[in-house]
């Protein structure tokens, strides 16, 4: 049996420049140095450090499986080192997502988000790395529903004999901390009845019944930690593509619809999801609009293959930045139209998220203050 490889994408916002924009290059550098040492020490096979908006992304390959203590510890320490650089420079929100003083053995529930999958490499292993900023955990539900369940998006469901059987979808109830595995297309309408509620349900994993995991998202149960909900914002998704899984183009197609996602300014508004290149992911309009980036990578014997030149060093990859191209200007323009329209609502719903999902609120104090003046109707 071929050796299994694990791809771990662990992300955190540990500080940024002039508001919630982007990490300082020095922060990326210290994180890269930490992961580079781990390659030399044999813990990792390969790595790449990137970002989407203010979220730093550690893409790592290794042979230690999901939720490995050493790999999570490495990610935690890389974020700590980056946060310490951010603190030295007095950057904004330095250490924002490191919500615990001590590492507990796993980054889950401590602030960072993690999407990880262990698999036996196919003869060729094309993958997509999707990264979002300024949006909530259920943002990928609609695209996942289209990619894996909608034959009008993924023609492969109709014409590829390997995709024709459909997929199993693991759905998490992030509020009541439950999960359920459901089968598409047999339970399609039941699946959509859950996923349509983006305040409670989110996809964790998509499985092909014989080939294995196709997609995994950094979805976590919502936990109150340090007086704040964690495991929530700016999710990432890994997708294995082609040959029984959806083609790369089938995975990217749903992002041409700039769906409304919860997040944006103060994590409390609905904005249109804006696909862009990594270098264009600075939140430039009202701390947004919510962004999504897609990097195309190849994994071979655990190495990340990009378009780098001979002689380039580990970590120094050039991947396919799928949303960077001009084709996506059309979608970006539409997303801006919709986001400006949504801003027209100011602090009124549906411009803002429902009261229980607001990340900040003054309402309890206001109601308390008004209590003596409240009259029965
Ligand atoms: P090729 O025939 O170029 O390999 O493409 C197949 C495919 O999957 C296109 O979506
Ligand atoms: P981040 O979650 O990306 O740090 O953004 C927070 C925010 O409040 C933006 O307005
Ligand atoms: Mg931030
Ligand atoms: Mg962010």
Q: 72 vs 45, 75, 77, 114, 233, CA distance in Å?
A: 15, 5, 9, 9, 19
Q: Which residues contact 32 (CB under 8 A, 6 or more apart)?
A: 47, 49, 315
Is pTM beyond 0.75? Reply is: yes
Q: Whose CA is nearest to atom 7 of ligand 1?
A: 247
Q: 134 vs 259, 260, 282, 306, 366, CA distance in Å?
A: 14, 12, 10, 27, 28
Give the residue with greater pLDDT, 314 vs 375: 375
DSSP letter (8 states) at residue 333: H
- Cβ atoms of residues 63 and 45 within 8 Å: yes
Report pLDDT for 322: 97
Residue 1 has pLDDT above 70, yes or no: no
Q: Whose CA is nearest to atom 6 of ligand 2?
A: 266
**Å from CA of 53 to ligand 4 middle:** 6
Indicate the burial class of 106 (C-beta count within 10 angstroms; 0-12, 13-18, 19 or more).
middle
pLDDT tens digits along 92-137 = 999 999 988 889 899 988 889 999 999 999 999 999 999 999 999 8
Find, among 275, 239, 264, 268, the residue nearest to 354 by Cα: 268
Lowest mean pLDDT among 203-212, 213-222, 310-319, 349-358: 310-319
Report pLDDT for 223: 65
pLDDT tens digits along 3-34 = 899 999 999 999 999 999 999 999 999 999 99
d(CA 200, CA 173): 6
Q: Which ligand is nearest to the CA of 271?
A: 2
- Of 92, 229, 285, 286, which is the active-site residue? 229
Q: Which residues contact 99 (CB under 8 A, 6 or more apart)?
A: 110, 111, 225, 226, 228, 230
Q: Which residues contact 352 (CB under 8 A, 6 or more apart)?
A: 268, 269, 270, 345, 358
Using DSSP's 3-state secondary structure scheme, residue 276 falls into coil
Asked about 360 being catalytic, the answer comes back as: no
């Amino acid at each position: 049996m071929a050796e299994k490889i694990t791809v771990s994408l662990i992300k955190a916002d540990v500080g940024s420049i002039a508001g919630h924009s982007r990490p300082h290059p020095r922060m990326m550098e210290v994180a890269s140095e930490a992961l580079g040492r781990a390659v030399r020490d044999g813990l990792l096979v390969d790595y790449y450090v990137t970002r989407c908006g203010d979220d730093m992304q550690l893409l790592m390959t290794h042979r230690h499986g999901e939720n490995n203590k050493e790999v999570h510890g490495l990610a935690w320490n890389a974020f700590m080192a980056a946060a310490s650089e951010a603190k030295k420079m007095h950057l904004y929100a330095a250490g924002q997502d490191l919500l615990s003083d001590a590492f507990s053995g796993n980054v889950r529930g401590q602030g960072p988000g993690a999407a990880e999958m262990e698999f036996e490499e196919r003869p060729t292993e094309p993958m997509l790395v999707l990264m979002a900023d300024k949006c909530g955990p259920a943002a990928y539900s609609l695209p996942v529903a289209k990619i894996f369940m909608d034959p009008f998006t993924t023609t492969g469901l109709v014409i590829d004999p390997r995709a024709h059987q459909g997929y199993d979808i693991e759905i998490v109830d992030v509020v009541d901390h439950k999960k359920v595995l459901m089968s598409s297309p047999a339970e399609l309408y039941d699946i959509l009845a859950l996923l349509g509620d983006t305040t409670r349900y989110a996809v964790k994993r998509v499985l092909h019944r014989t080939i294995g995991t196709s997609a995994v998202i950094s979805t976590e149960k919502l936990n109150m930690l340090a007086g704040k909900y964690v495991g929530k914002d700016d999710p990432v998704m890994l997708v294995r593509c082609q040959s029984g899984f959806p083609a790369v183009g089938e995975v990217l197609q749903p992002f041409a619809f700039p769906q409304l996602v919860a997040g944006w300014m103060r994590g409390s508004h609905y904005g249109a999801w804006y696909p862009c290149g990594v270098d264009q992911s600075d939140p430039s309009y009202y701390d947004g609009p919510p962004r999504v980036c897609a990097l195309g990578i190849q994994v071979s014997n655990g190495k990340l293959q990009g378009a780098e030149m001979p002689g380039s060093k580990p970590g120094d990859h050039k991947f396919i930045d799928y949303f960077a191209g001009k084709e996506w200007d059309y979608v970006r323009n539409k997303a801006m139209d919709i986001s400006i329209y949504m801003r027209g609502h100011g602090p009124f719903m549906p411009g803002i998220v429902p009261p229980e999902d607001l990340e900040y609120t003054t309402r309890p104090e206001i109601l308390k203050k008004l209590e003596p003046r409240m009259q029965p109707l």
